[in-house]
């Protein structure tokens, strides 16, 4: 049974993997966290494109993947078109900030978007933003440092100061984006435009208040992956094992202990499912 490949600059894509597991319980997954080169959001498009191509090639050659989910907004913006050109035979799914769903949910007509500089500054995001309903006002914030702080908050040696920094950055960016709330003229819908930010959504919800909807991309991406695999006749049979352990292998180009801690914390997976990525 060939697996589905999933990659991100770090542990943020685990939020997408979580949704994929729920949507596709009989599939196998290989997840690669490129932590050794994170964060992508503050790197050049050329660098992110090169890393994305190298990771895709590695997952195809070493793990014989049948599909690839680019579980990173920055990598999708910089490289999805190049990946499609290089691997036309591969089922490919990217992620993008959920602006369209936000336009359907907002009642005040004001939507906040938190994303990385790499996503916000990309042509792909600017085209997406320009295609939205002109009657909806988008407040967009490049949240420099936030993805890295969330990443580091999983590392035992950095957990306490990184968690404090996450709290400080969230407060700063929410204040700069606001005001939030269901009242006229306030932002009532907030798009989490980086997969890392999902792991801070409880803190975010407390900051913006219960009347504000938070939107991420994991579930729509999982549904799209299901549709494309079904169309291509690549879904695994229902008889395949549905338990999580043994059907997910996680790799990292960086700190292995950090990946183990994140996998245990957010996916309930044991450390022996995590490995160092070699040759990528």
CATH number for 262: 3.40.50.1860
Quickly list H helices, 87-231: 99-105, 117-120, 123-130, 146-152, 159-177, 201-208, 218-231
Q: Give yes or no: residues 187 and 154 share one domain.
A: yes
Task: Choose, from 194, 208, 215, 229, the residue flagged as catalytic.
Answer: 194
- Asked if 274 is an active-site residue, the reply is no
Q: How confident is the model at residue 241 (pLDDT cuts 50, 70, 90)?
A: low
Last residue of a domain, one of 195, 215, 235: 215
- Asked if 72 is an active-site residue, the reply is yes
Task: Choose, from 11, 30, 33, 72, the residue flagged as catalytic.
Answer: 72
- Of 156, 138, 158, the closest CA to residue 148 belongs to 158
pLDDT at 26 over 80: yes
pLDDT at 239 over 70: no
Q: Give yes or no: residues 47 and 123 share one domain.
A: no
Q: Give yes or no: residues 210 and 109 share one domain.
A: yes
Q: What is the average per-residue pLDDT within 89-102?
A: 95
Q: Give yes or no: residues 136 and 75 share one domain.
A: no
Cα 72 to Cα 60: distance, rounded to the nearest angstrom: 18
Query: pTM (2 decimals)?
Result: 0.91
The two three-digit tokens of residue 47, written as one number: 């660098």
Q: Which pLDDT score is estimated for 42? A: 83
Q: Give yes or no: residues 137 and 166 share one domain.
A: yes
Q: Which pLDDT score is estimated for 29? A: 97
Q: How far from chain centre, in Å, is Cα 228?
A: 19
- Of 57, 56, 69, the closest CA to residue 29 belongs to 69
Q: How many domains does the chain have?
A: 2
If you average pLDDT over every residue of the chain, what do you get? 93
Q: Give yes or no: residues 103 and 184 share one domain.
A: yes
Q: Which pLDDT score is estimated for 245? A: 55
Alpha carbon separation from 97 to 25, 130, 162, 264, 272 (Å, rounded): 25, 13, 25, 27, 33
pLDDT per position as a tens digit, 162-173: 999 999 999 999
Q: Give yes or no: residues 211 and 103 share one domain.
A: yes
pLDDT at 114 over 70: yes
Q: Give yes or no: residues 123 and 162 share one domain.
A: yes
pLDDT at 71 over 60: yes
Q: Give yes or no: residues 194 and 250 share one domain.
A: no
Q: Which domain holds residue 16?
A: 4-95+218-276
Last residue of a domain, one of 178, 197, 215: 215
Q: Give yes or no: residues 108 and 198 share one domain.
A: yes
Last residue of a domain, one of 215, 233, 261: 215
What residues pair up with 215 in beta bridges, in sequence order? 191
Q: Give yes or no: residues 154 and 245 share one domain.
A: no
Q: Give yes or no: residues 201 and 116 share one domain.
A: yes
């Amino acid at each position: 049974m060939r697996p589905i490949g999933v990659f991100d600059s770090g542990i943020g894509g685990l939020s997408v993997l979580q949704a994929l597991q729920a949507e596709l319980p009989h599939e196998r997954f290989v997840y690669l966290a490129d932590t050794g080169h994170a964060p992508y959001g503050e790197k050049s498009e050329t660098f992110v494109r090169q890393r994305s191509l190298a990771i895709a090639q590695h997952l195809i050659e070493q793990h014989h993947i049948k599909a690839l989910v680019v579980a990173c907004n920055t990598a999708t913006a910089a490289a999805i078109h190049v990946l499609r050109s290089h691997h036309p035979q591969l089922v490919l799914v990217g992620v993008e900030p959920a602006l369209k769903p936000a336009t359907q949910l907002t009642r005040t007509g004001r939507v906040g978007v938190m994303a990385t500089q790499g996503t916000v500054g990309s042509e792909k995001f600017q085209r997406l933003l320009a295609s939205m309903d002109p009657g909806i006002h988008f407040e967009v914030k490049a949240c420099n440092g936030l993805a890295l702080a969330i990443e580091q908050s999983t590392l035992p040696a950095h957990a306490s100061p990184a968690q404090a920094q996450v709290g400080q950055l969230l407060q700063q960016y929410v204040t700069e984006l606001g005001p939030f709330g269901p009242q006229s003229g306030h932002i009532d819908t907030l798009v989490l435009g980086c997969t890392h930010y999902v792991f801070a959504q409880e803190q975010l919800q407390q900051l913006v208040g219960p009347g504000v909807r938070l939107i991420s991309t994991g579930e729509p991406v999982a549904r799209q992956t299901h549709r494309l695999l079904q169309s291509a006749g690549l879904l695994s049979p229902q008889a395949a094992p549905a338990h999580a352990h043994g059907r997910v292998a996680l790799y990292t180009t960086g700190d292995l202990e950090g990946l183990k801690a994140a996998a245990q914390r957010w996916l309930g997976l044991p450390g022996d499912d995590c490995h160092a990525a070699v040759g990528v």
